[in-house]
Structure 1
Amino acid sequence: MEQITLPDDFQDLCSWYMWDHDLMSDRSLQRAQSSMEEIQSFYDAMLPRMEKILKYLVTVPMSDDMEPASKSLLNLAKSMAEVAPAVEQFFEPTISFGFDTTRWEHGPE
């Protein structure tokens, strides 16, 4: 995937398409395989928009049949939640002194 469509008010975030993952395991892998510079850049782009993103998302019915633009925005918000601890607490993509999360077997979401 090299392009996503987002709701009109969020078109400026389309360049972050690489963080648009439906599955938690894919979001976790994206974080683990990204540099801290990439993670920080995504975080910095998303943080000032999160209030507006969340206000928009509460107006959208959540279902497997979501409009693709809204679903991509939801996925970006979930990816923001995925990277926030790396930026705010651990200062690295993975916890080097913790459990290797790639060993987890993820069930259906």
Structure 2
Amino acid sequence: MWDKEKDKEIDKEIDKEKDKEIDKEKDKEKDKEKDKEKDKEKDMEIDKEKDKEIDKEKDKEIDKEKDKEKDKEKDKEKDKEKDKEIDKEKDKEKDKVKNKEKNKEKV
């Protein structure tokens, strides 16, 4: 007859093996979770880099706009200077005409 003690021993061995398998599965799951976390971290880093690039591009655009505004201001200043010069010339012409008139009156 089969010994009960032997049965118990065999059952214990079987249970040990099952437990080992269960532990292996648990470990696999843990590893999967770790991998998922690592992937998440990588994705976050990639997103951060993308955001940095986007911000750089935005900054470039902002700088371009600022430069355009500066150029507009410079152009306005140039136009003002031109207008001043034109006004000076006009004044000179007026003075010439006035002087001619004065000279005519004298004669």
Is the pair's TM-score, using the shorter chain for normalization, greater than 0.5? no
Q: Which has the higher helix share?
A: 2
TM-score (norm 2): 0.22
TM-score (norm 1): 0.21
